[in-house]
Structure 1
Amino acid sequence: MSEQTPKTDPIRPTDDEARALARGLIDEALFAALATVTEGAPMVTRIALACDPAGMPLTLVSQLAAHTAPLLAGRPASLMVGEPGGKGDPLTHPRLTIQCRPEVIDRDSDAFEALSAHYVAERPKSKLYIGFADFLLVRFYPEEALLNGGFGKAFRLTPADLGL
């Protein structure tokens, strides 16, 4: 009978440095990878991203896009923010994956006007299409996040860790 080496948990205890790095990745993100499950299969797409006034991730989507149907149905989604730098191994650059619950902000809601003005201020090019009837805002409520801060720097974060 051979003795097995116990597995080492790769997740480090979350600290203030990890919290600041994760929040910075969200705040600085101009876009994100959005993962949804569409017709039983995973799908990933790129979306423009901003934060609402409270710091929640926010995007503008067309109802014509395939990734919008799962959001309209309230299905869980995942966002990944953080892009590799110009040099080095892309896997050594920080990135944050956020498991979240989407909230669609309908065009007829009281919140849409204020949030759309905020979104356009953050992402001015969206002014070209935010007025189209098929576009909606989606706010993402984080439920859990995984931070890969670089080689050997993995953290599990809560919404509170993200300042939300």
Structure 2
Amino acid sequence: MPQSPINPIRPTNDEARKLARSLIAAATFGALAVNDGISGFPAVTRIATGTAPSGEILTLVSGLAAHTTALLADPRAGLLLGEPKEKGDPLTHSRLALRVMAHQIARDDPRFAALRTHWLESHPKSKLYIDLPDFIFFVLTPQSGALNGGFGRAWQLTASDLMPVAS
């Protein structure tokens, strides 16, 4: 009798939630995958990331970038966070693949000024371009995620698993 394949996905627990939230909080950049409406192919780019005071995931992007145009046309995207350490096999280090919805925070949005101030605290070099008129924020709201915590440690996470913990 054939054996059923072993399910590598562990039941979601507080360890997984804590690890996912720590990857979100620590990330300063990530790989963003968008739906390219022109070619029909997925498009991937590296973006700066951070969190709002509320813990929401933020990115600051230029309106001239192809990924910005794609997000404005279709707010569904993928976001990969987590970088390998200096030593060891990169595939053994924690990473979080998120399905996100992108919500634009335009320059005339009342939240923009506070987000600008907060963003500059953690991304001081963005002072060079943050005030250019085409730059906007997006809040990237997780819908679900796949967390790989290293070899043999994988979880599927829901939107509520990924919500920031109120402090």
TM > 0.5 fold call? yes
- TM-fit CA distance, 1:70: 1.7
Q: 1:74 touches 1:103 (CA, 8 Å); kept in 2?
A: no
For the residue of structure 2 that corresponds to 1:110, the secondary structure is coil
Counterpart-to-counterpart distance in 1, 2:162 and 2:148? 14
- Which runs of 5 or more structure 2 residues have no equivalent in the other structure? none
Counterpart-to-counterpart distance in 2, 1:62 and 1:84? 27
Q: 2:33 touches 2:77 (CA, 8 Å); kept in 1?
A: yes
Counterpart-to-counterpart distance in 1, 2:162 and 2:54? 11
- TM-fit CA distance, 1:50: 0.5
Tell which deviates more after alignment, 96-105 or 8-17: 8-17
Counterpart-to-counterpart distance in 2, 1:37 and 1:109? 25
Per the alignment, residue 21 of structure 2 pairs with 23
- Return structure 1 stretches of 4+ with deviation > 2 angstroms: none
Per the alignment, residue 45 of structure 2 pairs with 45
Counterpart-to-counterpart distance in 2, 1:45 and 1:128? 21
TM-score, length basis structure 1: 0.94
Counterpart-to-counterpart distance in 1, 2:94 and 2:80? 11
TM-score, length basis structure 2: 0.92
Q: 2:58 touches 2:140 (CA, 8 Å); kept in 1?
A: yes
For the residue of structure 2 that corresponds to 1:160, the secondary structure is helix
For the aligned residues, what is the CA RMSD?
1.1
Tell which deviates more after alignment, 115-124 or 43-52: 115-124
Q: Deviations over 1:7-39 (max 9, x none)?
A: 222210011111111111111111111111112
Q: Deviations over 1:71-108 (max 9, x none)?
A: 11242011111001111111010000110000010111
1:115-126 matches, cutoff 5 A: 115-126=115-126
Tell which deviates more after alignment, 59-68 or 4-13: 4-13
Per the alignment, residue 85 of structure 2 pairs with 85
Per the alignment, residue 114 of structure 1 pairs with 114
For the residue of structure 1 that corresponds to 2:160, the secondary structure is coil
Per the alignment, residue 73 of structure 2 pairs with 73
Query: What is the letter of the counterpart of residue 100 of structure 1?
Result: V
Counterpart-to-counterpart distance in 1, 2:56 and 2:116? 14
Counterpart-to-counterpart distance in 1, 2:4 and 2:26? 38
Q: 2:62 touches 2:136 (CA, 8 Å); kept in 1?
A: yes
- TM-fit CA distance, 1:61: 0.3
- TM-fit CA distance, 1:44: 1.0
- Which runs of 5 or more structure 1 residues have no equivalent in the other structure? none
Q: Deviations over 1:104-138 (max 9, x none)?
A: 10111111111111111221111110100111101
The number of residue pairs the alignment matches comes to: 162
Query: What is the letter of the counterpart of residue 32 of structure 1?
Result: G
Per the alignment, residue 157 of structure 1 pairs with 157
Tell which deviates more after alignment, 91-100 or 67-76: 67-76
Counterpart-to-counterpart distance in 2, 1:23 and 1:134? 30
